[in-house]
A and B are shown apart, each in its own frame.
Chain A
Amino acid sequence: MDTLRELWAFLKVRKKFWLLPIIVISIMLGGLLIFAQTSALAPLIYTLF
């Protein structure tokens, strides 16, 4: 819950409410992807994420 509260506060400060639906969809999609996930490592790229 703390994280969600902080995320909401962050969106308010940054005035980026348009990101909210993208965050919701991303979290749902991300949850699905976790099941199919193998490795988060991508050795040929800078650690961008």
Chain B
Amino acid sequence: MDRSLRVLGISAYYHDSAAALVDNGDIVAAAQEERFTRRKHDSGFPKNAIQYCLAEAGLRLGDLNYVVFYDKPFLKFERLLETYTAIAPQGFPSFQKALPVWIKEKLFQRDILRTELQAIDNNFDGRNRLLFSEHHLSHAASAFFPSPFAEAAVLTLDGVGEWATTSLAVGRGNSLTVLKEINFPHSLGLLYSAFTYYAGFKVNSGEYKLMGLAPYGTPRYADLIRDNLIDIKADGSFRLNMAFFGYLGSLRMINKRFERLFGLKARRPEHPVDPRHMDIAASIQAVTEEVMIRLSRSIAAETGQRHLCLAGGVALNCVANGKILRDGRFDDIWIQPAAGDAGGAIGAALAVHHLHADQSRIAVPTDAMRGAYLGPEFSQRDIEDRLTRAGARFTTLQPERLLTTATESLVDQEALGWFQRRMEFGPRALGARSIVADARSSSMQSVLNLKVKFRESFRPFAPSVLAEDCRDWFALDRPSPYMLLVAEVCDSKRLPLPQGTEQFTGLDKLKLQRSLVPAVTHVDYSARVQTVHEETNPKYHRLLSLFKAKTGCPVLVNTSFNVRGEPIVCTPEDAFHCFMGTEMDTLAIGDSFLRKGEQDPALLQTYQDKFTPD
């Protein structure tokens, strides 16, 4: 018989620290530390996130049965030592950076965690209640256990954990069995990161930009990559040719030989994007998709499963996810919305619940992530107090009046900050901490990129669409609540291109209006769709419904409520500061409505330089 079990999962010390609380199998709270500390990808001990999770559940650390860390430090140390031994003396530059970190801290992770946890609650029994889960098991658990499937194949792909970089598993009921793994240094995530660096973006945060850049180019280097950098087998397993990569022993992802292969130096950050970089982005995207599709086919054949779950940072490659879905080997796929390391906190906690404690599992028909709305929420009174203290001038409206006012703002082509209910867990803003705007506007993509988000002009925006209207606008026949599937805009919503523009290349492609919703239609007609459901986000659903009633269009631009390099806003104060530092026009926080023109000009701030660009 099941018994009550409370588990806190922690992800920390590498990137994207987070905490998640699982109470008797239910995910009651989860948050990333960066949202509280305002440091993007904060890797520190997630003290604030833990305190939030405990407060949300009304518990103290001492009330928990277990705290679990999302990977195993000794296994990682083993990988480091074996790697350095294998390549000695070449790896000394990396060795001399890594060793001090390990000797001072990481080797003593259990002690450090125990000390940090006991600083939160001295009653926590760090000797018997602190567990460690393997990195890829945490990812696999985060993919399968919250999924809507009773059984499924599970594929996890990321940079690297301890040894594994890719794992194929099968989940049934409350069990999860790893069938195969591909180990470091052969890593699809690190391959993609190497190209991210080569294209001039920041490793471990710019991968999205590379994916967004790909449709501007043609995959003319794909064969060069296949012939030289990666050997892809029929079953999707692969080996990298380490002669071209630097990450084994140096402090660079790639080496000179890599640059010589493409006949092009690595692009320097913030320098103009060369058309060849676009082709390189298109090429590595094509190769990545090929590996992911082959892996998904082989796991489908091997397990006979009709459902697939995905996690790990590579599973955020929503273009590849969409192609796996359309490949038809699986009836349905489900991707953990916090597919990166933050989601490891949820996975580790669920792994303890179902695997370590052998607690039963009943798949939730929608899924168990609650729409990913697992973070802090603020009462209306608290919002008003906080806004008043921040010096904001606002009007509090009846709920329906707020929605009509917000709709009018959108129809008037204004960029609206939308801050409602519980914050999202994971990298995507899903209508709780979002900036929304009219997707029909041909200038909105450029306005939002340059004046609101302060980011590169080529980057696409994603649409939120009423779930019930999705099929009318996008070639997608199922829910995509987490913005993790890419689908094409329906033919009926496309516009004919003016004659002579078919030859447009590179960023010139941006100038063309391709559909009735140009602000969310990428240059290849693709869109990273978020379906909005009344059950999980009724207020946002109502906003879209009102916008549709006014305009006939059930689609809005939805981008995260932050600027480039800033973590997504967490509190009303964060939202107000971001609002005052950008050219956002209006802001709805709870039932309070703010207009830029009514604010104290003395509170306007230069926001663009406040955060290091990512």
Q: Are A and B genuine complex partners?
A: yes
Which residues of chain A have a CB within 8 Å of any CB of chain B? 2-3, 6-7, 10, 14, 16, 19, 22-23, 26-27, 29-31, 33-34, 36-37, 40, 42-49
With A7-B74, A47-B14, A49-B80 given, name 7 new contacts (CB 8 A).
Answer: A2-B111, A22-B85, A33-B96, A36-B96, A42-B94, A45-B252, A46-B190
Contact of A26 among B99, B108, B110, B189 (CB under 8 A): B99
The 3 closest A-B pairs by CB, nearest first: A30-B99, A30-B103, A49-B98
Report the Cα distance A32→B98, complex, angstroms.
Answer: 13
| B82 contacts A44, C-beta separation under 8 Å | no
Which residues of chain B have a CB within 8 Å of any CB of chain A? 14-15, 43, 74, 76, 78, 80-82, 84-85, 94, 96-104, 106-108, 110-111, 159-160, 189-190, 193, 197, 202-204, 246-247, 251-253
Which label, helix, strand, loop or mixed, suits the secondary structure of the A interface?
Answer: helix
Q: How close is A2's CB to chain B, nearest CB, in angstroms?
A: 7
| B203 contacts A40, C-beta separation under 8 Å | no
| B99 contacts A33, C-beta separation under 8 Å | yes
Contact of A44 among B96, B101, B203 (CB under 8 A): B203
Assess A19 versus B99: contact at CB under 8 Å? Given A44-B252, A44-B253, A46-B247.
no
Assess A46 versus B160: contact at CB under 8 Å? Given A6-B74, A7-B74, A19-B82.
yes
| B204 contacts A47, C-beta separation under 8 Å | yes
* B residues near A30, Cβ cutoff 8 Å: 99-100, 102-103
Assess A42 versus B251: contact at CB under 8 Å? Given A19-B82, A49-B80.
yes
A-B contact pairs, 26 of them (CB 8 A): A3-B108, A6-B74, A19-B78, A19-B82, A23-B81, A30-B100, A30-B102, A33-B96, A33-B100, A34-B103, A40-B97, A40-B101, A44-B203, A44-B251, A44-B253, A45-B203, A45-B247, A45-B251, A46-B160, A46-B190, A46-B203, A47-B14, A48-B98, A48-B159, A49-B80, A49-B106
Q: How close is B201's CB to chain A, nearest CB, in angstroms?
A: 11
Assess A22 versus B247: contact at CB under 8 Å? Given A33-B96, A44-B253, A46-B193.
no
Report the Cα distance A7→B98, complex, angstroms.
Answer: 18
| B81 contacts A48, C-beta separation under 8 Å | no
Report the Cα distance A21→B14, complex, angstroms.
Answer: 27
Contact of B100 among A10, A14, A37, A44 (CB under 8 A): A37
* A residues near B106, Cβ cutoff 8 Å: 49
Which label, helix, strand, loop or mixed, suits the secondary structure of the B interface?
Answer: helix
* A residues near B110, Cβ cutoff 8 Å: 2-3, 6
Contact of B103 among A10, A19, A31 (CB under 8 A): A31
Q: How close is B341's CB to chain A, nearest CB, in angstroms?
A: 9
Report the Cα distance A17→B78, complex, angstroms.
Answer: 11
* A residues near B246, Cβ cutoff 8 Å: 45
Residue from B84, B98, B160, B189 whose CB has the most chain A CB atoms within 10 Å: B98
* A residues near B204, Cβ cutoff 8 Å: 46-47
Report the Cα distance A15→B202, complex, angstroms.
Answer: 38
The chain A residue sitting closest to B81, CB to CB, is: A22
Q: How close is A24's CB to chain B, nearest CB, in angstroms?
A: 11
Report the Cα distance A37→B204, complex, angstroms.
Answer: 24
Contact of B78 among A14, A27, A34 (CB under 8 A): A14
| A42 contacts B97, C-beta separation under 8 Å | yes
* B residues near A34, Cβ cutoff 8 Å: 100, 103-104
Report the Cα distance A36→B104, complex, angstroms.
Answer: 13
Report the Cα distance A16→B352, complex, angstroms.
Answer: 27
Q: How close is A42's CB to chain B, nearest CB, in angstroms?
A: 4
| B74 contacts A10, C-beta separation under 8 Å | yes
* B residues near A45, Cβ cutoff 8 Å: 197, 203, 246-247, 251-253
